[in-house]
Amino acid sequence: MMNRARAQVVEGIVSIFVNAGLFAVKFWAGTAIGSIAIIADAWHTLSDSLTSIFVVAVVKLSSKKADKEHPFGHGRWEHLSSIFIAFVLAIIGYDFLKNSIIKFGNRETAVFGTVAIVVIAVSIVIKEAMAQFAFYIARKTDNAVIKADGWHHRSDSLASAVVLIGIFFAKYFWWMDSVLGMFCALALFYAAFEILKESITKLLGEEPGQELIDNINGEARKLCKEDLKIHHIHLHNYISQKELTLHIRLDRNMTIENGHKTATAIEDMIKEKFNMAATVHVEPLE
């Protein structure tokens, strides 16, 4: 598997520089034509760059080894940083929504030209490419922070796509720029909600996936040549370390020594095959 810390730094640095460049171009274009939608889109892009700085910074915290105060490591800093990214998105979205409503109330409009169309079109392509890059690294490293950053890129790409569509209708509807600004705000709120929901779910604890359960059962059956009635499986995900607890049922006439050997063999198998520290509780077979 790709090194988590290095992958996070690479994705973060790429994001910082590309987004900073896109922000400058979008902000210039939006200011030149007085478009709140494009300016909002520009700040959305800059927020990607700012949160990517946080993504890089959190590597040092999340990659620290376990210590006396934190025996399971510091990997959950990744989830905390994802929550931070979600709040940044929500705050920016609120500001865009407020400004769009004010502009709508004042019946302000904007005149879009060729430059705006080119800037937004190029931004869509670049941002979607960055989102795909982030999602690819997130899949390879199972990194929640990079996945959150990928959604940040994706929300920017989608918001830009809507702005581009709206540009072609702006000359027919005076309120188009304001409405597009509102849509950008809603896109930010949605991205924030999705990131927040996933991060909180993982912090509170998740049920192990059925695929993992089936794989553990299959490997245990190969090892022991019998059905151990594995049940009560709990997964504790600390990102840098995963702890698995489960119960097995053995012949009630088996000696304590043999039962211990079987449980230890299961624990060793889980460590080798699934890279998880396991604790196996033995129960008598009914």
What class, spelled out in words, does domain 210-284 have in CATH? alpha beta
CB 157 within 8 A of CB 124: yes
Rounded mean pLDDT, 62-67: 64
Alpha-carbon gap, residue 64 to 54, rounded angstroms: 16
CA 58 → CA 80, 217, 250, distances in Å? 9, 36, 45
Residue 78 CA to residue 81 CA, distance in Å, equals 5
Q: Where are the domains of the chain?
A: 4-204, 210-284
Task: Write out pLDDT tens, residues 76-88.
Answer: 666 777 787 788 7
CATH topology for the 4-204 domain: Alpha-lytic protease prodomain-like (1.20.1510)
Report whether 230 contacts 263 (CB < 8 A).
Answer: no
Q: Which residues of 177-193 are buried (b: 16+ CB within 10 A; e: fewer)?
A: bbbbbbbbbebbbebbe
DSSP structure class, residue 254: S
Label residue 247 by pLDDT band (50, 70, 90): very high
Between CA 102 and CA 107 the distance in angstroms is 9
pTM of the model: 0.56
pLDDT one-digit tens code per residue, 79-124: 777 787 788 778 878 877 887 788 778 776 656 677 778 888 888 8
Ranges of H-type helices in the chain = 4-33, 36-62, 77-105, 114-141, 144-167, 176-204, 210-224, 256-274
Residue 265 pLDDT greater than 80, yes or no: yes
Q: What pLDDT does residue 63 have? A: 65
Q: What is the pLDDT of residues 41-62, one digit of tens each?
A: 787 777 777 677 777 777 666 6
* Range in 2-16, 207-221, 224-238, 268-282 the model is least confident about: 2-16
Residue 75 is predicted with a pLDDT of: 61
User: In the numeric block, which tokens belong to residue 189?
Assistant: 């709120």
Percent of the chain with pLDDT over 70: 83
pLDDT at residue 149 in the model? 76
Does residue 73 come out as left (phi exceeding 0), alpha (psi in the -120 to 50 range) or beta? left
